[in-house]
């Protein structure tokens, strides 16, 4: 049995309205290893779900049941160590995912495969050492991805599949091998932010002046 102390739970719940009208659920500064179950059942029309600084250690698929309308999931500043393989499968309309400042060592294969609307993903300041080529499947709408402050040595993602990609950040990693190839300016990639350690990965930095005509 895991003891749970919820310090703050807030929802945009107006007088004379029902749980079905709640669009945002926010839980901050709590002490719980896992998220409460049946949040989606109680608030079936949630669009934003935020749980920050709550000491979360685990998240699994059951925690997001009945949250099919969710567009933003923000789980920053926790202690998440494990992501189950299909943890996000229920979130078919998710657009923004943030898992910054956790303890995640790896991403399961195809962990984002059901998130076909995913546009922004930030997993900064974790312990990732490798991004396999099967991490992003069916995620063709991604515009921003940021993995700065990890321990990445291999980046094998197929960046050619991201036709809308505008921003990539892999600063503060120690890359030794990557699948980066020269990215055409016509792809409208505004800039890659990088650190000197990444230059042996073949990552190129595109300055704003280089794409001013696109």
Give the predicted TM-score (pTM) of the model. Answer: 0.80
pLDDT at 197 over 50: no
Q: Which residues lie across from 136 on neighbouring strands?
A: none
Domain boundaries for CATH 3.80.10.10 within the chain = 1-103, 111-214
Phi and psi, residue 61, nearest 5° = -60, -35
- Which CATH class for the 111-214 domain? alpha beta
pLDDT band at 7 (very low <50, low <70, confident <90, very high): very low
Of 36 and 149, the structure prediction assigns the larger pLDDT to 149
Query: Mean pLDDT across the stretch 185-211?
Result: 42
Query: Mean pLDDT across the stretch 165-169?
Result: 80
Which of 46, 72, 75 is CA-nearest to residue 60? 75
**Alpha-carbon gap, residue 158 to 151, rounded angstroms:** 19
Name the CATH code of domain 1-103 (choices 3.80.10.10, 1.10.10.10, 3.40.718.10, 3.90.1150.10).
3.80.10.10
pLDDT at 113 over 80: yes
Phi and psi, residue 47, nearest 5° = -110, -35
Helix (H) or strand (E) holding 21: none
Query: Mean pLDDT across the stretch 195-204?
Result: 42
**Alpha-carbon gap, residue 31 to 29, rounded angstroms:** 7
A 10 A CB-CB count for 2 gives 9
pLDDT at 208 over 70: no
Of 52-56, 63-67, 170-174, the poorest mean pLDDT is in 170-174
CA triplet 48, 157, 88: central angle to 5 degrees?
30
Query: Mean pLDDT across the stretch 47-52?
Result: 95
Helical H segments across 20-160, by residue range: 39-42
Strand 24-28 relative to strand 8-11, pairing: antiparallel
């Amino acid at each position: 049995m895991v003891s749970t102390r919820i310090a703050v739970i807030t929802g945009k719940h107006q007088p004379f309205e029902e749980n079905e009208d709640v669009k945002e659920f926010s839980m901050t500064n709590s002490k719980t290893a896992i998220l409460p179950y049946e949040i989606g059942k109680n608030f079936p029309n949630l669009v934003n779900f935020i749980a920050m600084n709550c000491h979360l250690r685990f998240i699994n698929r059951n925690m997001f049941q009945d949250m099919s309308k969710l567009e933003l999931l923000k789980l920053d500043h926790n202690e998440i160590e494990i992501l189950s393989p299909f943890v996000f499968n229920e979130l078919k309309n998710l657009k923004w995912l943030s898992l910054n400042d956790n303890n995640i060592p790896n991403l399961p294969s195809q962990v984002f495969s059901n998130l076909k609307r995913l546009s922004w993903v930030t997993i900064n300041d974790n312990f990732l050492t490798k991004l396999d080529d099967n991490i992003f499947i069916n995620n063709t709408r991604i515009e921003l991805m940021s993995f700065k402050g990890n321990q990445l040595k291999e980046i094998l993602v197929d960046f050619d599949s991201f036709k809308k990609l505008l921003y990539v950040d892999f600063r503060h990693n120690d890359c030794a091998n990557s699948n980066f190839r020269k990215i055409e300016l016509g792809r409208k990639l505004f800039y890659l932010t990088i650190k000197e350690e990444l230059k042996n990965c073949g990552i190129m930095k595109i300055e704003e002046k280089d794409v001013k005509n696109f």
